[in-house]
């Protein structure tokens, strides 16, 4: 009886916070790779399409980005979207907006020139973000506690609309980033595309091994208070993010991470930024 009461209470709590709420939606979108959708925000240009197809071929999973506000949805089955990688589409299904998931009922390719302009207004015909609002958002995210080398949280702005993106181990980081940014004066709308990472034993072991390997081969990017390199581990896949000074460091990090046991794939998204370029801002 006690277990039944607890189970019912958990279900009630999940319903209260919106975990179980699905709704029928239909929208114009773009079938992207998960990594590209969270790192290459902006218009769907040739470079974005190239990233989508390249990372999907390397093993990244596909998602659907809603063009109107850049909300990223993970489809319930990859087979629904695998033929549309790099294409504009019209999607219908049942979605959980809080968790960014959709059960696809139908998905059809739409020529880019047939996508209604109103659906693209998020990126075209909008003013740039005000410098003060942009800096307030950046500072707010930089000052969040409990962000580790295993988390990557970033953002983009279109006008005064903020798109939060990245991956984190803590649900409190995901919800906390949204709440903090939502309160900033001047921010009009916040899209939360931050993904909650799995905490299984395999992934936790890979995180520890990856950090140990990188601290050995490229120690200059790790220090007690933080790191310019971020390690995102997702279902036995490693995503390397952040900046390094030399291409050789990026290449060495990628090679050594590929040798870590139980790793299925390594996506090297490290950017090479020389000290001179960093000093220029």
Q: 221-251, pLDDT tens digit by residue?
A: 998 667 899 999 999 999 999 999 999 999 9
| Residue 13 confidence (pLDDT) above 60 | no
| Residue 23 confidence (pLDDT) above 70 | yes
Predicted local distance difference test score (pLDDT) of residue 16: 42
| Residue 271 confidence (pLDDT) above 90 | yes
Predicted local distance difference test score (pLDDT) of residue 104: 96
| Residue 274 confidence (pLDDT) above 90 | no
| Residue 11 confidence (pLDDT) above 70 | no
| Residue 277 confidence (pLDDT) above 80 | no
CATH 3.30.1340.30 boundaries in the chain: 201-279
Predicted local distance difference test score (pLDDT) of residue 165: 95
Given a contact cutoff of 8 angstroms between Cβ atoms, the answer to whether 237 and 202 are in contact is no
Given a contact cutoff of 8 angstroms between Cβ atoms, the answer to whether 181 and 155 are in contact is yes
Domain 131-196 CATH assignment equals 3.30.1340: yes
Q: What's the mean pLDDT in 105-131? A: 83
Closest CA to 234 of 59, 31, 37, 19: 59
Q: How many CB atoms lie within 10 A of CB 79?
A: 9
Phi, psi at residue 233, to the nearest 5°?
Answer: -120, 125
Q: What fold is seen in the domain 201-279?
A: 3.30.1340
Percentage of the chain beyond pLDDT 70 is: 90
Phi, psi at residue 54, to the nearest 5°?
Answer: -65, -50
| Residue 40 confidence (pLDDT) above 90 | no
Average pLDDT of the chain to the nearest whole number: 88
Predicted local distance difference test score (pLDDT) of residue 237: 97
Given a contact cutoff of 8 angstroms between Cβ atoms, the answer to whether 192 and 184 are in contact is no
The pLDDT tens digits of the residues spanning 163-218 come to 999 999 999 999 999 999 999 999 999 999 999 999 999 999 999 999 999 999 99
């Amino acid at each position: 009886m006690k277990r039944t009461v607890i189970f019912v209470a958990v279900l009630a709590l999940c319903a209260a916070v919106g975990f179980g709420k699905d709704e029928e939606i239909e929208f114009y979108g773009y079938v992207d790779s998960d990594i590209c959708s969270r790192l290459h925000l902006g218009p769907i240009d040739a470079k974005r399409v190239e990233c989508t197809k390249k990372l999907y071929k390397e093993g990244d999973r596909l998602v659907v980005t809603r063009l109107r506000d850049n909300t990223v949805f993970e489809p319930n089955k990859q087979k629904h979207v695998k033929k549309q990688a790099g294409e504009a589409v019209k999607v219908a299904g049942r979605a959980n907006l809080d968790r960014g998931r959709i059960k696809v009922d139908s998905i059809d390719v739409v020529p880019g020139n047939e996508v209604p302009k109103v659906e693209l207004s998020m990126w075209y015909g909008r003013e740039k973000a005000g410098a003060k609002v942009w800096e307030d958002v950046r500072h707010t995210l930089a000052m969040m506690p409990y962000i580790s080398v295993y988390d990557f949280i970033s953002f983009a702005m279109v006008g005064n609309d903020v798109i939060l993106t990245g991956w984190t181990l803590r649900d409190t980081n995901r919800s906390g980033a949204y709440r903090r940014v939502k309160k900033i004066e001047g921010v009009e709308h916040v899209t939360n595309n931050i993904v909650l990472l799995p905490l299984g034993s395999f992934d936790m072991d890979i995180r520890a091994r990856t950090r140990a390997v990188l601290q050995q081969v490229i120690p200059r990017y790790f220090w007690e208070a933080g790191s310019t390199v971020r390690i995102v581990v997702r279902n036995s896949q490693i995503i390397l993010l952040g900046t390094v000074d030399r291409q050789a460091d990026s290449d060495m990090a990628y090679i050594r991470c590929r040798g870590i046991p139980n790793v299925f794939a390594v996506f090297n998204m490290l950017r090479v930024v020389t000290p001179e370029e960093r000093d220029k801002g």
